[in-house]
Structure 1
Amino acid sequence: MTEPLLEAEDLTVQYRTSNGLLTAVSDASFTIEEGQYFGLVGESGCGKSTIIKAILGGLDDNGRITSGKIKYRGEEIQDLSDEERNRELRWKEISWIPQGSMSSLDPLQRIDEQAIEIARTHTDLSKEEIRERIERMFDIVGLQKSRVSDYPHQFSGGMQQRALIALALFLKPAVIVADEPTTALDVIMQDQVFKYLDEIKEDHDTSMVLVTHDISVVFESCDKMAIMHAGQVAEVGSVVELFDNPRHPYSILLQEAFPDVRYPDRDLGIIEGNPPQNMGNVDYCTFVDRCPWAVDECRKNSPPLESTSSSTSTEPHLASCLRKEEELKVDRANERSLRGDVS
């Protein structure tokens, strides 16, 4: 059996604060395969960006991985130095599309100059090879090749985002990490950006980690997903399986909070309460105070991420809930409104 392309295994990340250790990620696990688009979903503050920073080696100075592993092609990478990451991984193996295009491109450098700087740090490509590659990537993302010598301010916001995607791709990485890549774009430009990303997937067999709070974008664009709540991975599986057969209460309630074109008059659900601030070790379900189906046992142990018996997909379907095998009653005939009773 081949190794996953990228893997997090029981990953815990903590930050030093004036009040003690804040646990941003607790025992998080998931795998990403070659050519797979993987969505990482959850509310703001749930730990998505912390996981991405841990993968990229970009944690803040007060943050550190306290346990667990991150593997790339079967090799542990969590303890690599910056020099080792630059030499072995960054840009040519794992690249990054940051959230804000307006603040991510150097305003004093032309795009091709930025490409040359990246490539010379991480490869032995000649200047001619670098320009040829960035021009090809511009063409793929729908920008004129002649614009590679323009400054960022000469692009619109959508064009800057596509230029960032071109820079992330031009060294042919195996994995793209996209952190809310369309947040600042209007819905038409969002659709265009994801169209380009889909074309790249087909043409280059590139994998992507899409980090977002918008579960509907993941359902539309990804093959597999993980849903996070307050530092814990609540559920992992194929997007089809998690859409049709969610097994964690947070997954169910999160879907109810998003509009469905099939039921335009349906009232959207509300997840009451706020995520907890996890100080020290986390030995309970972080959703317990917001969960309508919680029992006393949920407060005593952190539920393991385990397979569900109801999966209809070849992709493993995992959930971290003591009641994951119970069928939560959802009245789909009445616009999928949640009843709140359990069989």
Structure 2
Amino acid sequence: MRAHRGIALATTGLAAALALTGCATDPAAEEGTLTVYIGRDEALVGPLIERFEEESGIDVEARYAATPELAALLLEEGDRTPAQVFLSQDAGALGALADAGLEATIPAELADLIPDGFTSQDDSWIGVTGRARVIAYDGEQLAEADVPDTVDALTGEEWKGEVAFAPGNASFQAFVTALRVLEGEDAAAEWVAGMAANDPELTENNLATLDLVNNGQVQLGLINHYYWYRQAAEVGADNMRAQLKFLPGDPGGIVNVTGAAILKNAADDPEARAFVEFLVSEEAQRYFVEETFEYPLLPGIDAPEGLPALESLVNPGLDLSDLESVGESQRLLADNGLI
């Protein structure tokens, strides 16, 4: 297998969390400042955070890192964390923190805004946006019909050295968790081992994966859908060598959500509540549609043009609460030398 970067594949889990503790385990946040741990790309959500600050008058101390790193950090910090809100790239990390008793209950009037199936069952966190896992393929080398309808086929000899993905990314790890839930532990272990043996291109993130496909360096890449749509908006869809194939019903095509949790130490904090309320407001939901091309979860907001209906992609056999065992998926990936 080949790694592209500067990628630090060992940055997931507790080791990365401990690396961050020097700047993140200070005493409680300074009064008047809302401390938010953000497991999303600053380029994606930074402008929205600034908009919240301007409209609310609340100063946000945003600490950005990969979702797995921040989740591990929060587990290490426990009640000592300075964070008041956690904005996560996927549901699995939020579920793990809820299991550890680190999340406060989202007020019912907020929790009820997001439909069942796209948020937590116990109101420990709230869904913010939806994203579909897809296969990006080289449109100059392949027709859509040539691209497998299932990720199970990617371990085949014909795809040796032709598949890229970001194993340290929270969304990829959530997919592996979904694979374990939907197809069983043995099948998932066999798939991960098969992929590791099939000379994959390992990248740091979804964008790097898409770039490899778009540059013709690999034929296939496993990414979230919105990375393609963002790049197409910048350069024009007609100029995209990479194309997308959605996989409805397949573990490789799951719909995951970004979500937010108010941490236990901020259960009664009005600033934390105001921030979460803003994330599911019409304004913020439209921002995600127009700027990041994600599915809005607030009813009444149209999805980005050209996307399949969200309901057509949801796997009825998967409950997002099932993704909380992401730690076991990380161990599986590590055992096969992928992280």
Name the structure where helix makes up a greater proportion of residues: 2
Choose between structure 1 and 2 for higher RCO, CA contacts under 8 A separated by at least 6 residues.
2
**TM-score after normalising by structure 1:** 0.27
Higher Cα Rg, which structure: 1
Name the structure where strand makes up a greater proportion of residues: 1
**TM-score after normalising by structure 2:** 0.27
